[in-house]
A and B are shown apart, each in its own frame.
Chain A
Amino acid sequence: MIEVANLHKVFPDGTKALQDVSVSIPDGDFVAVIGLSGAGKSTFLRCLNRLVDPTGGTIAVGGSDVATLRGRALQRYRRTVGFIFQQFNLVTRLSVLDNVLSGRLGYHPTWRGMLALYSDRDYELAQAAIREVGLAGRENTRVDQLSGGQQQRVAIARAMTQEPDLILADEPMASLDPRLSDVILGLLKQYNEARGVTVLVNIHVIELAKRYARRVIAFNQGRIVFDGPVSELDHDLESTIYAGSLETL
């Protein structure tokens, strides 16, 4: 259970990215976060794993507030949250296996990580995740030898290897061929249904949100303008969500 209450984020340049955002997400939900570029979707997701520090409000995960965690405690929280980036953010000079194993770094003391002393279980988890995303046999390939779609699958495997309670995906298909959207979202959906892990995906293509998500949260200018099941999204609502698009773009 994630309970966000009165979340605010003002960037140092004065941009109000999030204003009074309150939302509650039960475990195992599959949520699509939609809205225009700059509406606050990305900031919202990044607040949830604290890549961005909110300037106000609380984020209760499993009952405790994570909005103010620091240092070691923050690292312990983050290892339970998988984050999938639009640009994959892999270390392209390392192998698929090395990248996927780095998902386990949060579970070991620093010195073991430095020396790459992963446990047998880490290797099993990594191999399983690589199989699950369909890259079995490519473990020792350098990531820069892979296509964009394969790289994003490596990133998903890295998140899975964390054994997360929550997966946040920030526009995971935006820099890929549109035909790959189904592959990526399919993997997330399958993982969500098989393990009951909560998934939040930022999407700007509303059709994809309708096809995969159970629930939609829509942002406009830093505020939630819609929060409800996909079935309630109609044409009028969509035009509210995308209101002001021409002026702001």
Chain B
Amino acid sequence: MWVAFALGGIAAVLIGLANGSMRRLVIGGGVALAVAYFAFPMFAADGFVSRDTVSPTLFGLAPTHPALALVLLAALVGVAAARLPPRIGGSLVALGALVTAGLTWSAQAGSPQLVHLLPLPGLMEALTGLALAAALTLLGWGSRRLRIPMLVIGVAAGVLAFGFLGGPAGHRLFPNADGYYRLTTPVGESVQTAIVAEYNANLDTINAQRTRIGLHTLPPIESVKNLDTERLPEAASSKGYRMLRPAKSRYGVWVAMLLAGVLLGSGAMLAWRPRLHGSGDLAGGILYAAVLLSLAPAFASTEFSFAKLAEGWPFLMKFLDRAWPPLWADPSYGQFGIFPLQEVASQMLITLEIALVGTFLGALFAVPLSFLAARNLTQGNALMRVVFAVTRGLFNLDRGVDTLILALIFVAAVGLGPFAGVLAMAIHSIADLGKLYSESIENVDRGPIEALEAVGASGSNVVRWSILPQVSPLFLGWTLYRFEINFRVSIVLGLVGAGGIGFFIQDKMSSGRYDQMIIAILAIVIVVNIIDFASSWLRSRLV
């Protein structure tokens, strides 16, 4: 926790010493802290089972920890620093940062306590509606003509989304959203006594179960303080009571401390050197805040952890140890011997062939379709415009479904093996190549088209004699480019059972034959580089 505080402070001071704008950091830190105050989880509050656990925000903790409201004040001072004289603003921000760090630390060091959850119904629904309205409005804001219509559409969509999510249909689809945001409120003496009594009443049943599975029995408790490591009784949990355990901190604590460090460092630097500010500090600060606000939850969600990496390091070493030297071939193994290098060679060939056939089939269908998806060839009449829209729509739909996902579906339909992979690759390539081809057609030189119209050539002959000669080298280039990508895709196709070297890797990995798998990895590195090099050399000679 203090590591984050120190990191933030040091980073801010270093940026300040490099003459970076401190006011920008102060604003960014303030905005981020204000959002984190309302949105980032701080501590765990446990109930009966693990899914009862909720993680209140600083705002959610306000009823039980009133002093934490000062954190919001500190954040707002940071935002207000945009308008304050640098020396005064900087000093206030530094002071606020110290208060934030102190309060966060003392709340985190506090002992477990019993709280009651007070849901704020409709809050998440309203926020979703607001976000939708804001996004749609911003989309049209740049154009004078679209500004008002998009504002109206945005507000209407926001209200509709709020109504839908807040209604019974929305609660059925997203049960978690109902009363998702909760405040923690203090619990009176009498309720505490009742929960202690309930716990003790259930103790006989629980201890009987514990004895049966060989665990020691639990003693009766005298106050809720004794529940600091035990779970709450089921009935209390379902009534909304939780044990708030500040020691089980969430990423919000880390973010608050980091921001306190940044605000302390940048506020102090700003007070010391008031000239450290620039134009566009408000926009820049909001950008900093947006980056931090999206990264912090993302790191938390993806469970990023150096500790786990350190734990896993010996396994990595052991893997390399077992993978080297590679087992190229062992004729004396078993009855027939094993020949991994030979198998890698033939599987690599199949992988290459999947990419060849997939790309060829994709191109075969993409060429004619791309002419229907080229805007400049389809403006003749209403029917052609519909054809254009439909073709483009299909391309976009198809491009959205990755080859690997298509392969999973085709494996289910036509069975394991390279055929499923080829089908998936061809279908995905049609859309991808079709889009690239049609964009090439849209960019052709209009002059020759006009010239052939002027000699009285028919529409198809104009395409044949002025567009085709212009786009054919471009088509070839895109096809080669797609082939490069398809080859890399076909390597992983084997992982879903659609044939090729990926299957070999999966097989050897799961049976622990790392000394055979390493051959496939080496082969992939070599062949991918050869193909990329050859393809880009060919493409450079096409023009």
Chain A residues with CB under 8 Å of chain B are 49, 51, 74-83, 85, 87-91, 93-94, 98, 102-103, 105-107, 110, 113-114, 155, 158, 162
> Are A114 and B464 CB-contacts (below 8 A) given A75-B456, A78-B454, A93-B469?
yes
How many whole Å from A47's CB to the nearest CB in chain B? 13
What residues on A are CB-neighbors of B454 within 8 Å? 49, 51, 78, 81, 83
- The proximity string for B residues 425-468 relative to A, scoring 1 for CB distances below 8 Å and 0 otherwise, is 00000000000000000000001101111111110110011100
Name, among A74, A94, A105, the residue most crowded by chain B CB atoms within 10 Å (CB to CB): A105
The answer to whether A106 and B456 have CB atoms under 8 Å apart is yes
How many whole Å from A141's CB to the nearest CB in chain B? 15
Chain A residue with Cβ nearest B468: A91
The answer to whether B453 and A114 have CB atoms under 8 Å apart is no
Q: Which one of A77, A88, A94, A155 contacts B456 once the chains associate, using CB atoms below 8 Å?
A: A77
How many whole Å from A76's CB to the nearest CB in chain B? 7
A91 to B464, CA, bound (A): 11
What residues on B are CB-neighbors of A83 within 8 Å? 451, 454-455
How many whole Å from A180's CB to the nearest CB in chain B? 19
Tell me whether B278 is interfacial, beta carbon within 8 Å: no
Chain B residue with Cβ nearest A159: B455
Tell me whether B470 is interfacial, beta carbon within 8 Å: yes
The answer to whether A102 and B469 have CB atoms under 8 Å apart is no
The answer to whether B456 and A76 have CB atoms under 8 Å apart is yes
Q: Which one of A74, A106, A114 contacts B455 once the chains associate, using CB atoms below 8 Å?
A: A106
Tell me whether B473 is interfacial, beta carbon within 8 Å: yes
Judged by DSSP, the binding face of B is: helix
The answer to whether B450 and A78 have CB atoms under 8 Å apart is no
The answer to whether A113 and B457 have CB atoms under 8 Å apart is yes
- The proximity string for B residues 91-120 relative to A, scoring 1 for CB distances below 8 Å and 0 otherwise, is 000000000000000000000000000000
The answer to whether B448 and A89 have CB atoms under 8 Å apart is yes
What residues on B are CB-neighbors of A110 within 8 Å? 458, 460-461
How many whole Å from A112's CB to the nearest CB in chain B? 9
- The proximity string for B residues 341-353 relative to A, scoring 1 for CB distances below 8 Å and 0 otherwise, is 0000000000000
A158 to B460, CA, bound (A): 19
The answer to whether B473 and A93 have CB atoms under 8 Å apart is yes
What residues on B are CB-neighbors of A82 within 8 Å? 455
> Are A105 and B470 CB-contacts (below 8 A) given A85-B451, A87-B447, A113-B465?
no
Instruction: Pick 20 A–B contacts, CB within 8 A, sort by A.
Output: A74-B456, A75-B456, A78-B456, A79-B456, A85-B450, A85-B451, A89-B450, A91-B465, A91-B466, A91-B469, A91-B470, A103-B455, A105-B455, A105-B458, A106-B455, A106-B456, A110-B461, A113-B458, A113-B461, A162-B456
What residues on A are CB-neighbors of B458 within 8 Å? 75, 105, 110, 113
Q: Which one of B447, B455, B470 contacts A102 once the chains associate, using CB atoms below 8 Å?
A: B455
How many whole Å from B476's CB to the nearest CB in chain A? 12
The answer to whether A114 and B457 have CB atoms under 8 Å apart is no
Name, among B447, B450, B457, the residue most crowded by chain A CB atoms within 10 Å (CB to CB): B457
A190 to B461, CA, bound (A): 31
The answer to whether B451 and A79 have CB atoms under 8 Å apart is no
Name, among A51, A77, A113, the residue most crowded by chain B CB atoms within 10 Å (CB to CB): A113
How many whole Å from A78's CB to the nearest CB in chain B? 4
What residues on A are CB-neighbors of B452 within 8 Å? 102, 105
The answer to whether A105 and B450 have CB atoms under 8 Å apart is no
How many whole Å from B102's CB to the nearest CB in chain A? 67
- The proximity string for B residues 55-69 relative to A, scoring 1 for CB distances below 8 Å and 0 otherwise, is 000000000000000
What residues on B are CB-neighbors of A162 within 8 Å? 455-456
What residues on B are CB-neighbors of A94 within 8 Å? 465, 469
A162 to B49, CA, bound (A): 88
The answer to whether A114 and B466 have CB atoms under 8 Å apart is no
A93 to B452, CA, bound (A): 15
What residues on B are CB-neighbors of A76 within 8 Å? 456
Interface set, chain B 197-247, CB cutoff 8 A to A: none
A93 to B468, CA, bound (A): 10
Chain B residue with Cβ nearest A161: B455
How many whole Å from A149's CB to the nearest CB in chain B? 17
The answer to whether A79 and B455 have CB atoms under 8 Å apart is yes
> Are A91 and B453 CB-contacts (below 8 A) given A102-B465, A110-B460, A113-B461?
no
A190 to B454, CA, bound (A): 23
A78 to B452, CA, bound (A): 10
> Are A105 and B447 CB-contacts (below 8 A) given A78-B455, A78-B456?
no
The answer to whether B457 and A75 have CB atoms under 8 Å apart is yes
A79 to B469, CA, bound (A): 22
Chain A residue with Cβ nearest B454: A83
A102 to B455, CA, bound (A): 8
The answer to whether B453 and A51 have CB atoms under 8 Å apart is yes
What residues on A are CB-neighbors of B451 within 8 Å? 83, 85, 89-90, 155, 158
How many whole Å from A193's CB to the nearest CB in chain B? 23
Name, among B448, B450, B466, B473, the residue most crowded by chain A CB atoms within 10 Å (CB to CB): B448
A103 to B458, CA, bound (A): 12
Chain B residue with Cβ nearest A164: B455
What residues on B are CB-neighbors of A98 within 8 Å? 465
The answer to whether A158 and B469 have CB atoms under 8 Å apart is no
The answer to whether A106 and B447 have CB atoms under 8 Å apart is no
What residues on A are CB-neighbors of B453 within 8 Å? 51, 78
A117 to B34, CA, bound (A): 76
How many whole Å from B447's CB to the nearest CB in chain A? 4
The answer to whether A105 and B448 have CB atoms under 8 Å apart is no
Which 9 A-B residue pairs are closest in the complex by CB-CB distance? A106-B456, A79-B456, A89-B447, A78-B456, A89-B451, A105-B457, A83-B454, A113-B461, A75-B456
How many whole Å from A151's CB to the nearest CB in chain B? 11
How many whole Å from B17's CB to the nearest CB in chain A? 56
Chain B residue with Cβ nearest A72: B458
How many whole Å from B399's CB to the nearest CB in chain A? 29
How many whole Å from A132's CB to the nearest CB in chain B? 18
> Are A105 and B461 CB-contacts (below 8 A) given A79-B455, A83-B451?
yes
How many whole Å from B383's CB to the nearest CB in chain A? 16
What residues on B are CB-neighbors of A49 within 8 Å? 454
The answer to whether B470 and A93 have CB atoms under 8 Å apart is yes
What residues on B are CB-neighbors of A155 within 8 Å? 451
A75 to B461, CA, bound (A): 12
> Are A91 and B448 CB-contacts (below 8 A) given A110-B460, A113-B461, A114-B460?
yes
What residues on A are CB-neighbors of B466 within 8 Å? 91
Chain A residue with Cβ nearest B464: A114
Chain A residue with Cβ nearest B467: A91
Q: Which one of A51, A102, A106 contacts B450 once the chains associate, using CB atoms below 8 Å?
A: A51
Interface set, chain B 238-264, CB cutoff 8 A to A: none
A49 to B451, CA, bound (A): 11
How many whole Å from B289's CB to the nearest CB in chain A? 45
A90 to B452, CA, bound (A): 9
What residues on A are CB-neighbors of B470 within 8 Å? 91, 93
What residues on B are CB-neighbors of A77 within 8 Å? 456
What residues on B are CB-neighbors of A80 within 8 Å? 456
How many whole Å from B294's CB to the nearest CB in chain A? 44
